[in-house]
């Protein structure tokens, strides 16, 4: 029996990191379980973005975004960084405890190593001289161990995990779930054409499912609270400038409090010898970065984001809408992603194709030269400029004229769903995990939340 004719033990909505690791842990511990995974997007091998920079240069609003949706979630084509830390990446530890959170992140790391990541390196900030260098310059390096799979190895790991799961778990791809109904015992899921029943339901829809999650919470009367939005730029510069940091740490999460506004600015998603890429969220084109383990795929540039977090107070509740409006303005002026040289920004002039072509550094993304000061709010842009000068003290050359700023980079966060310490909603046997919960903001935390809930269900 398949589909609507079967009643499942566990139904999982979303095949991102949380959903994958829930399914893996459940079936690995109890092979008799009937598990179904419902995914809005496609299987891994059918995921692709039509933007080729030649015939198709900008988003054509595919029915399901190949970058954001499908097996592996939005992390499938990321640079595959698993940060083992409680200092950033979410607040999972506030629900399950710091020790348990780290234990589960290490467990996830072991699975990634087992399924293809054995030759990748685990970096650490422990006993790093770079931490002292940062402190001497009013910068703060956050502690973490970082497993860097790279976009290429990350894809292989996902392929191998799927190969293990596909005959043990029932996958329904290209199957958006429209509604979750609470039954007297268990839950019923409604897709466009079918209905599915199960005893327990795990929701793991990621950031791209934020609006859907909001509607589900309204329908089921699950309390939520507004969350933050991160707005900033992606910086690209010659790899040599950050080499002393990236060779030792790979990714350095550095936080700075600005003198002008006392705002916090942080580095995010550092990609040594990587490439800047487009990202589509709900039809809005923003910017992100990738990096690779294979030397043949590496570039001569390093890129990373500089982000400023904005938390809003009453009566304003739509933090994601605020971020979207800024991204839409960038799309309006640049036809997509905009790029500006740091020297041009400081001098108050728009970057031009001519000035970019004369630069010694070759951009890794084709973007529209423009003026970011017409897009990004002044306070946030002032914060970013001050952070670049601060980083220049530990990595001279960061504030060089030819350093490129791509805008905008926006990190949307789901509103935080009210959950207990088992990540269970007020409705028994309905769990919300991963970035869709507003609790986690990273691959490692999302994956760990999936394992945690799976073990809780097995224990029951």
Burial readout 381-417 (b: 16 or more C-beta within 10 A, e: otherwise) = bbbbbbbbebbbebbeebbbebbbbbbbbbbbbbbbb
Give the pLDDT score at 292: 86
Rounded Cα distance between 48 and 25, Å, is: 28
Which residues of the chain, if any, have pLDDT below 70? 1-5, 52-53, 57-58, 127, 227
Q: Compute CA 1 distance to the chain's CA centroid, rounded to the nearest angstrom.
A: 36
Give the pLDDT score at 213: 94
Strand order in the sheet with 229-238: 140-141, 254-257, 264-271, 301-310, 229-238, 404-412, 338-341, 368-369
Tens of pLDDT along 70-89?
999 989 988 899 999 999 99
Give the pLDDT score at 51: 75
- pTM value is 0.82
Rounded Cα distance between 78 and 68, Å, is: 10
Give the pLDDT score at 178: 97
Residues linked to residue 195 through DSSP beta bridges, in sequence order: 190
Task: Find where tokens 């015939």 sit.
Answer: 55
Residues linked to residue 404 through DSSP beta bridges, in sequence order: 236, 341
Give the pLDDT score at 5: 64
Its sign, for the CA torsion 310, 302, 78, 108, is negative
Give the pLDDT score at 1: 40
Rounded Cα distance between 53 and 239, Å, is: 24
Go through the domains of the chain in sequence order and give each one's CATH number: 3-123+148-225+417-459 (3.50.50.60), 229-412 (no CATH)
Rounded Cα distance between 137 and 330, Å, is: 33
- DSSP characters over 240-293: GGGHHHHHHHSS--EEEE-TTT--EEEEEEEETT-EEEEEEETTEEEEEEE--S
Tens of pLDDT along 11-20?
999 999 999 9
Query: 416: which 2 tokens?
Result: 């935080």
Those residues whose C-beta lies under 8 Å from the C-beta of residue 336, and which sit 6 or more positions away, are: 57, 58, 59, 278, 285, 367, 368
Query: 441: which 2 tokens?
Result: 């903001």
Give the pLDDT score at 367: 94
Residues linked to residue 284 through DSSP beta bridges, in sequence order: 281
Task: Tell me the chain's radius of gyration from C-alpha atoms.
Answer: 22
């Amino acid at each position: 029996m398949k589909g609507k004719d079967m009643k499942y033990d566990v139904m999982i909505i979303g095949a991102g990191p949380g959903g994958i690791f829930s399914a893996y842990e459940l079936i690995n511990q109890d092979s008799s379980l009937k598990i179904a995974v419902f995914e809005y997007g496609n299987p891994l091998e059918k995921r692709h973005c039509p933007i080729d920079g030649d015939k198709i240069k900008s988003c054509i609003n595919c029915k399901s975004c190949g970058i954001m949706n499908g097996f592996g979630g939005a992390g499938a084509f990321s640079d595959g960084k698993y940060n083992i830390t409680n200092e950033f990446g979410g607040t999972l530890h506030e629900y399950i405890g710091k020790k348990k959170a780290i234990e589960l992140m290490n467990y996830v790391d072991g699975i990634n190593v087992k399924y293809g990541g054995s030759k990748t390196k685990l970096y650490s900030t422990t006993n790093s001289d770079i931490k002292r260098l940062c402190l001497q310059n009013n910068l703060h390096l956050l502690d973490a161990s970082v497993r860097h799979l790279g976009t290429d190895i990350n894809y292989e790991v996902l392929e191998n995990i799927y190969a293990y799961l596909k005959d043990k778990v029932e996958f329904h791809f290209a199957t958006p779930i429209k509604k979750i109904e609470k039954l007297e015992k268990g839950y019923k899921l409604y897709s466009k054409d079918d209905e599915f029943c199960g005893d327990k339901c795990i929701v793991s829809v990621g950031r791209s499912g934020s609006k859907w999650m909001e509607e589900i919470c309204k329908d089921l009367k699950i309390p939520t609270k507004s969350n933050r939005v991160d707005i900033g730029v992606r910086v690209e510069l010659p790899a040599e400038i950050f080499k002393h940091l990236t060779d030792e740490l790979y990714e350095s999460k550095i936080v700075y409090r600005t003198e002008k506004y006392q705002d916090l600015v942080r580095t995010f998603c550092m990609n040594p010898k990587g490439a800047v890429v487009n990202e589509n969220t709900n039809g809005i084109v923003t910017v992100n970065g990738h990096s690779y383990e294979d030397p043949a795929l590496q570039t001569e540039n390093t890129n990373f984001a500089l982000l400023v977090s904005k938390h809003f107070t009453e009566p304003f509740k739509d933090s994601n809408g605020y971020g979207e409006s800024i991204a839409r303005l960038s799309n309006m002026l640049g036809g997509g992603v905009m790029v500006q040289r740091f020297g041009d920004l400081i001098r108050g002039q728009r970057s031009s194709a001519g000035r970019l072509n004369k630069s010694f550094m070759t951009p890794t993304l084709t973007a529209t030269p423009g003026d970011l000061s017409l897009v990004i709010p002044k306070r946030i842009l002032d914060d970013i400029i001050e952070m670049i000068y601060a980083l220049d003290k530990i990595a001279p050359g960061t504030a060089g004229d030819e350093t490129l700023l791509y805008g905008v980079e926006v990190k949307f966060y789901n509103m935080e769903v009210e959950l207990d310490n088992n990540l269970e909603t007020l409705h028994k046997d309905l769990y919300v995990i991963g970035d869709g919960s507003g609790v986690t903001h990273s691959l490692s935390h999302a994956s760990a939340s999936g394992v945690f809930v799976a073990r809780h269900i097995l224990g029951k």
